Structure 1
Amino acid sequence: MATDTRSSAALPALMALCLSVGAMFSLTTQAAEAPKSMTTPQTTGQALSSKQQTIPLIAAFMATSDMPNLNAALNQGLDAGLTISETREILVQLYAYVGFPRSLNALNELMTVVQARQQRGIEDAPGREPGRAIPVGDELLAAGTANQTKISGAPVKGPVFEFAPVINQFLQTHLFGDIFERDNLDWQSRELATVGALAATPGVEPQLRAHMAASLRVGLSAAQLGEVTEQLKKHGDAQTAERANAALKDALAASKS
């Protein structure tokens, strides 16, 4: 599988830095409001939709390579109304957080699930592909930087980016550019997926806290994120749920300080 020159072999590991490296980020100016098409809540009330509830579970089971539970979660997501395109996009995006091997394995599992459902007479909605062209060159960097700033709440900088400037270039051009510019999955769904994957991954608590805060910025409520922790507790691993709950508490405390 050939990849763009921007996606080097080291990129998946580097992408795990994602929005922040905890206290190493210095956020200096408040960002503009994100586009409504990306951040409009997918529910009219305070509860997550059935579709949204399945996203963190899909992500968590993908991150831990728990294929039997991933199979079940993918079926639940499709039953709840996720399109094939949305589900596929979740698994593609998460390579930036858990690596290409897990992403590829999860995509293979999704193919198996879709084929098995077709054999049972279930025709899942295909969904749509991205509806706009992804910019290139300097325009891609500008778009990715703007997306990163909106989601992070302010321009992202700090010692780690002075030490390794290329990591922020990868984040801005690839993760927040190539991936987040794809409009076949809204930002709330992307953050729900990222939270689920990071909660299931020990040792990335600073990034998990950052993405809990980002989830609030893109329009998810504290109550909805509390539902995420309950779903992880009910259907996933207890330690995964504990990490998610602790990160949510920290994000809420920081938002009030």
Structure 2
Amino acid sequence: MKSLIFVRTFSVVLLMLIGLTETYAMSESSLDRRQIAIIPIAAQTASGDIENLKISLNQGLDTGLTVNEIKEILVQMYAYTGFPRSLNALGAFMSVVNERQEKGIKDEVGKEASPLPADYNSLRNGTANQTKLIGQEVKGPLFDFAPAVDEYLKAHLFGDIFERDVLTWQDRELATIAALANLKGAGSQLGAHYAISMHNGITEAQIRDFIEVLRKTVSAETANEAAKVFDQVLTDRK
């Protein structure tokens, strides 16, 4: 009997210590809890890992992301991972929200995107957004070769999606690098968005912590590859 009581007591203490350790690790991160929650949601959407995505979606809501913020992340993902991944993730999120409602959990819906002016021009404003986001006008042989993709990037991604104020640009870039890090063959795009992220206020320390979140929530292989790309970006900047 005493042995059983000891085992139960030890288990409780061990769980408390694990919780304290996780809390301490979270407080020591240069990313806040909300930013940390964004990373696996975007990364697992990119890979189509729906089972783990549902876990991350629940954790994101528990952390304080609103329903509309998570919707916005998943909608944005179609521009980087394609409609199938985005739609599957949105379907998973819809089921998570419904399950939580059935359990009596009341999640904050959050604000809607502000309406755009009547004279809003997606291409014009998107070009301005892209230039501001990246720090310079974007042009080059690829866009001369395929001008349609240049127009779609400017008008739709940066004009229609990035103009929506449900998320900040830092939020959007964090989601973008998480998705690209978990996409095979997207190293050059990941490197470009690391640079864009830092241009928009995400620090080197935050990206290092971002990589460690990938290690814990996705895989060591994904994190190691993301770290290699980031190291190369820092080398090129020097």
Say which structure, 1 or 2, has more relative contact order (CA 8 Å, 6+ apart). 1
Q: Which has the larger radius of gyration?
A: 2
Residue 252 (str. 1) matches residue 234 (str. 2): yes
Name the TM-score, length of structure 1 as normaliser.
0.79
**Is the alpha carbon distance of 1:239 and 1:233 closer, same or farther for their aligned partners in structure 2, counting shifts above 3 Å?**
same
Q: Structure 2: how far apart are the matches of 1:136 and 1:69?
A: 42
Please state how far the C-alpha of 1:134 moved relative to its aligned partner: 6.0
Aligned residue type for 1:118: Q
Residue 222 (str. 1) matches residue 165 (str. 2): no
Aligned residue type for 1:187: W
Specify the SS of the correspondent of 2:116.
coil
Percent identical:
49
Q: What is residue 88 of structure 1 aligned with on the other side? A: 71
> Quick one: which of 198, 207, 210 aligns to 2:189?
207
Q: Structure 1: how far apart are the matches of 2:145 and 2:217?
A: 40
> Quick one: which of 145, 151, 164 aligns to 1:182?
164
Residue 144 (str. 1) matches residue 126 (str. 2): yes
Aligned residue type for 1:85: N
Name the TM-score, length of structure 2 as normaliser.
0.85
The answer on whether the counterparts of 2:69 and 2:167 sit within 8 Å (CA) in structure 1 is yes
Specify the SS of the correspondent of 1:239.
helix
Please state how far the C-alpha of 1:254 moved relative to its aligned partner: 2.9
Q: What is residue 154 of structure 2 aligned with on the other side? A: 172
> Quick one: which of 226, 235, 255 aligns to 2:217?
235
Q: Structure 2: how far apart are the matches of 1:116 and 1:236?
A: 24
Aligned residue type for 1:230: E
Q: Structure 2: how far apart are the matches of 1:188 and 1:241?
A: 20
Which consecutive segments of 4 or more residues in structure 1 shift more than 2 A?
A: 134-137, 250-255
Instruction: Calculate the aligned-residue CA RMSD, in Å.
Output: 1.6
The answer on whether the counterparts of 1:84 and 1:126 sit within 8 Å (CA) in structure 2 is yes
Aligned residue type for 1:203: G
Flag the structure with higher helix content: 2
Q: What is residue 197 of structure 1 aligned with on the other side? A: 179
- Structure 2: which 5+ runs fail to align? 1-27
**Is the alpha carbon distance of 1:121 and 1:65 closer, same or farther for their aligned partners in structure 2, counting shifts above 3 Å?**
same
Deviations 1:166-205 (A, max 9, x none): 1110000000001001011111110111111100001010
